[in-house]
Amino acid sequence: MVAFEDVARAVLDEGRYVVLGTADGGGTPWVSPVFYTLSGYREVIWMSSPEARHSRNIGERPDVSLVVYDSRVEPGDGMAVYMCGVAAEVTGEAVAAVAAAYGDAALPKGGRRVKIDEVTGEGIYRMYRATIREHWTLDPDSRPDGRAAVTL
C-alpha cells in the first residue's frame, strides 16, 4: 500500500500549476492557477503581477488555500494535495535568493529563470511565497470529510 505522504510528494513534485485560493478584505473569494515551484514541501513559490487580483488579495488577507492535482487523469483516478497557509510578497534581500531558487526549480518543469529586474523596481512581476501550515490528500475511508492529513 502506498503511503499518503508518498502520494502527496509525487503530486507536488510533478505538478506545474497550483490553484491558489485567496479572498479580498471583505471575504470575496478568488481562485487562480499559477505556475509554482517548491522550497521543500513547506513553501510554494510563484511569480505574479502585483496587480493581479490574487496578489492584491494577499496584500489584504494573507491566509490562502491551495490545491495541486493532475486534471488529465480519468474521473475517479486523480490524486490531489490540499494545503492551507499564509502568503506574502517576497521583499528585501530575500528576493534575489528566492528568484534564483524559483528559476532553478522551474527549468525541469518547463519554466524559465527569472531575471532580477523582472521582479524588482520597475519590473512588472514580483515573487510570492506561501508558507504551508497543513497538507491533506483525499482518503475515502477518512471521516467525516474524506481528508487525510499528511506530514511533509
Confidence check: pLDDT of 1 > 60: no
Res 19: pLDDT: 98
Region 108-120: mean pLDDT is: 94
The cell numbers describing 116, all together, are 532580477
Average pLDDT, the chain: 93
pTM of the model: 0.92
Give mean pLDDT, residues 115-138.
95
- How confident is the model at residue 72, as a pLDDT? 80
Mean pLDDT of 21-50: 97
What is the pLDDT, as a whole number, of residue 118? 95
- B/e letters for 62-93, b = 16+ CB within 10 Å, e = fewer, are eebbbbbbeeeeeeeeebbbbbebebebbeee
In the predicted model, is pLDDT for residue 147 greater than 90?
no
Query: pLDDT grade, residue 77 (50/70/90)?
Result: confident
So what's the pLDDT on residue 2? 64
pLDDT of amino acid 12 = 95
pLDDT band at 148 (very low <50, low <70, confident <90, very high): confident
Q: What is the pLDDT of residue 91?
A: 97
Angle (CA) 5 18 16, round 5° = 85
Alpha-carbon span 124 to 134, nearest angstrom: 31
Sequence-ordered list of residues with C-beta below 8 angstroms from that of 38, at least 6 positions apart, any chain = 12, 13, 44, 45, 105
**Cα-based distances in Å from 55 to 22, 114, 135, 143, 150:** 9, 18, 22, 34, 27
The answer, yes or no, to whether residue 45 has pLDDT greater than 60, is: yes
